[in-house]
Amino acid sequence: MIAPSLLVILLVAAYPIGYAIWLSLHEYSLIHQGLSRWAGFRNYSSALWGVESHEFWGAFKTTFLFTAISVTLELVLGLAMALAMHQAFRGRSILRATVLVPWAILTVVTAMTWKTIFDPDLGFANTMLRALHLPGGHVVWLGQSGYALAVLVFADVWKTAPFMALLLLAGLQVIPEDVYDAAKVDGATAWQRFRRITLPLLTPAILVALIFRTLDALRIFDLPFVLTRGTNGTNTLSLEAQQTLVNNGVIGLGSALSVLTFVTVMGVSFLYIRFVGGNIRALAD
């Protein structure tokens, strides 16, 4: 019963990765299409310390910087949203439905919308800032490094903080209510209850959500592609590999960059699998 899916998985997952490694060890002629030559590790050496190293390490640094900032912001904002959604109040279900809206909007559409809003002349953001005489009304958001990364982070936080909130809400809901009641009886303040009960009991959920989001952020492609095409310090690993491959048509190097991206992400993925290992084991038993 399991054989057909194993075959399909081998076909769609194992085979491409194997073929990517094979391609990355070759050089492909752009003039005579398909003509290839064994290149050994030349594509890797040029990516890691050769002519391409500036682009590769630049993208590497941007990807990790982007991941660190946006995942941190998503955690803080997601936690705040989760705490609000966890309160009992009328209309709570409406709020829980609302936070799914950013998640449901296509990432390309998200990127397009923020690009419009942050348009330097006609965008809503700058028009508002100018009308209110606030600083920043003349900033070319996507045209300057620093600002461009900030918009990228902002768009990503908007799209995924609600998702983070839902993951954390699921964690909050399994904390038994009587622990809080006991703490109240003992005179613990709201802050103390948060600090000494909620946070420690929520830590496993927070860690899984963090790793899960980190994995997503490291793979980011759609947002920088639409917002900036990787200009102004927003070039990420996936984007660099894709552009090398498709725009420049350099199959060997593009594959090497893809494999390097794969190895980077799989390092974190290994942590994730280790971390949810208990759950997998529960499924497997």
Partner 1 sequence: MSATAVPESTSPTVRRARLRRFRFSTTWLLWIAVVLIMLFCLFPFYWLINTSLKTGADLSSANLVPPHPNLDNYSSIFHNGDFTDALRNSAVLSLTTTLIALVVGSFAAYALARLRVPMKFLLLAVILSITTFPPIAVAAPVYKLWTDIGLYDKPLSLGLILPDLTFTLPLTIYILTSFFRQIPRELEEAALVDGATYFQTFRKVVLPLAAPGLVTAGLLAFIFVWNEFLFAITLTASANARPVPAAIAFFTGSSQFEIPLGTISAASVVVTVPLIVLVLIFQKRIVAGLTAGAVKG
Residue 110, both tokens: 């998200």
Residue in 39, 59, 79, 117 binding partner 1, rule: CB under 8 A? 117
Nearest distance from C-beta of residue 104 to partner 1, angstroms: 4
Q: How many residues bind partner 1 (CB under 8 A)?
A: 100
109 contributes a contact to partner 1 by CB under 8 A: yes
Q: What is the dihedral of CA 134, 136, 137, 141, to 10 degrees?
A: -150
Residue in 75, 205, 210, 217 binding partner 1, rule: CB under 8 A? 205
- The type of residue at 63 is T
Give the closest residue to 241 by CA, choosing from 228, 251, 231.
251
134 contributes a contact to partner 1 by CB under 8 A: no
Instruction: Annotate 201-237 with b (16+ C-beta within 10 A) or e (fewer).
Output: ebeebbebbbbbbbbbbbbbbbbbbbbbebebbbbbb
| Of 41-49, 68-76, 107-115, 145-153: span binding partner 1 (CB under 8 A) | 107-115
> Closer to partner 1 at the Cβ: 54 or 281?
281
Half-sphere exposure of 277 (CA within 13 A, CB side): 6
56 contributes a contact to partner 1 by CB under 8 A: no
What pairs with residue 38 in β-bridges? 26
| Of 51-59, 135-143, 144-152, 210-218: span binding partner 1 (CB under 8 A) | 210-218
Residue in 69, 72, 96, 183 binding partner 1, rule: CB under 8 A? 96
Residue in 35, 68, 128, 199 binding partner 1, rule: CB under 8 A? 128
| Of 38-46, 52-60, 141-149, 245-253: span binding partner 1 (CB under 8 A) | 245-253
The Cα–Cα gap between 54 and 285 comes to 48
> Closer to partner 1 at the Cβ: 68 or 246?
246
Residue in 30, 95, 182, 199 binding partner 1, rule: CB under 8 A? 95
Residue in 40, 136, 200, 277 binding partner 1, rule: CB under 8 A? 277
Nearest distance from C-beta of residue 221 to partner 1, angstroms: 5
122 contributes a contact to partner 1 by CB under 8 A: yes
Site for partner 1 in 3-42 (CB under 8 A): 4-6, 8-9, 11-13, 16-17, 19-20, 22-23, 34
Site for partner 1 in 151-190 (CB under 8 A): 158, 162-163, 166-167, 170-171, 184, 187, 189-190
